[in-house]
Amino acid sequence: MKPAALPSLRIDSVRAVPISILPASRFGTNRFTGDRDPARFRWFGPFSQLTGATLVEIKTAEGLVGYGMGGGGGAACYIIENHLRDLLIGADALNVELLWDQMFSSTSFYGRKGVAIQAISGIDLALWDLSGKAAGVPTHKLIGPTVQPRVQAYFTSPKPEIGLKLGFTAFKLPMELPPDNPKPIVDRLVEARRKVGKDAKLMIDVLCRWTVPFTIDVAKRIADADVRLDFIEEPILPDDIPGYEQLCREVKSTRIASGEHEYTHYGFNELIRHKAAQILQPDLTWSGGLTTGKRVVELATRAGLPVMPHRGGSAFGMQLIVTSKQCPLAESFGPGESNEMWMRLAAPFEKGFYRATEGPGMGIQLPQGVLKQYGL
């Protein structure tokens, strides 16, 4: 839907470049000891996570420039340059949701999930950035009224003590221990609870490493140890919807979160329909942009489910979060990191809370010197 009372903005150019915000080594190794090396399952390559981030730049004939962050690295850039750009050049940049539907339909025979949607994500966010700039308001003002001007942040890191120093009161630990023995996992969480205190929120991110039986066993042991876990994120692979159904049905001591690696409102509707997640976690830079985020929140509101966007503390994520009470937490993006692009794409953070950027559009400042570093 085009923002009301705005003139047309004709798209004049579309460019996309890879921006590796995190090193590939952060997500595994490509050196294997043999055919059955477990590391083969954990090597995510150059197109996944923030190793494969992309920066999309869209310029209009009227002189406005919009920026969006997507995923898929060089693979997504190829799709943008060799397919999606054909749909965008000459189109009205303010027809954001119409263009989303056209891009999704146009890529559906090879896309629907994964890298094609990650490419669309970066474009969609750049278009919303342009829409806000054209209206002279923060993008979230085009989404809806501000119902929560700031939101509690949670710190994702294996070192919660860093988050404590930064003022966080909620923490999520990546579970990087091998899924062969629950005791070290429980011991680590007992120690984490001791560090963060009895009143802090504590969560874990498994990054799809476990099985259903192992998750059920660990959840019971964590409850017995009185860790008081708020949720377990992505314990199993995202396509195992029956497994997520079982976990949501049988695990009573904590909630099951999923959606970081789900795509579009169609995918999230399936999670909701099957009762396969108790917390929805779309990443706006991967799952389809702000257009998808809006639609997921609408679905979640009807289902009574919370939405906690992955990396919600980005300038992009906070445009959605401040407009909905369905979004009670924002994940860390920026604090504790040193990458310049990461910091420039982050929302304002202070004393454990994020708020949305205040400038027009996404409120992102990308000087020419920074853009040149990435080839724009």
Residue 8: pLDDT above 90? no
- In the listed set 111, 136, 161, which residue is the last one of a domain according to the structure? 136
Domain end call among 109, 136, 163: 136
Same domain for 172 and 309, yes or no, is: yes
From the list 333, 280, 328, 320, the residue with the least C-alpha distance to 302 is 280
pLDDT tens digits along 73-96? 999 999 999 999 999 999 999 999
What is the extent of the structural domain holding 226?
Answer: 142-359
CB-based contact 117:36 (threshold 8 Å): no
Q: How many CB atoms lie within 10 A of CB 28?
A: 17
CATH number at residue 227: 3.20.20.120
Return the pLDDT at 21.
Answer: 84
Q: What is the CATH number of the domain that holds 30?
A: 3.30.390.10
- Structurally, the chain folds into a number of domains equal to 2
Q: How far apart are CA 191 and CA 370, in angstroms?
A: 41
Gyration radius of the chain over CA positions = 20
The mean pLDDT value for 233-238 works out to 98
User: What average pLDDT does the chain have?
Assistant: 95
Alpha helices (H) in the chain, listed in sequence order? 73-79, 85-88, 96-107, 115-135, 140-143, 160-166, 182-196, 212-224, 241-250, 264-273, 289-303, 315-321, 340-344, 368-373
pLDDT tens profile 251-283:
999 999 999 999 999 999 999 999 999 999 999
Q: What's the average model confidence in pLDDT over 161-174?
A: 96
**Shared domain check, 201 and 59:** no
Task: Establish if 352 belongs to a structural domain.
Answer: yes
Q: What is the pLDDT of residue 3?
A: 55
Q: Which residues are catalytic?
A: 310
Contact 289, 121 (CB under 8 A): yes
Residue 24 has pLDDT above 90, yes or no: no
Q: Which residues contact 58 (CB under 8 A, 6 or more apart)?
A: 11, 13, 14, 15, 65, 66, 67, 68, 88, 93, 123, 126, 127, 130
Are 111 and 196 within one domain?
no
% of the chain with per-residue pLDDT over 70: 98
Q: Is the pLDDT of residue 44 over 60?
A: yes
Which residue from 92, 105, 51 is spatially nearest to 74, judged by alpha carbons?
A: 51
> Does any domain span residue 2?
no
* Averaged pLDDT, 230-259: 98
**Amino acid 315: pLDDT:** 97
Q: What is the pLDDT of residue 1?
A: 53
- For residue 366, is it within any domain? no
Q: Considering the domain boundaries, does residue 328 fall inside one?
A: yes
Instruction: Tell me: pLDDT of 6 over 70.
Output: no
Q: Is residue 376 one of the residues assigned to a domain? A: no
pLDDT higher than 80, residue 338: no
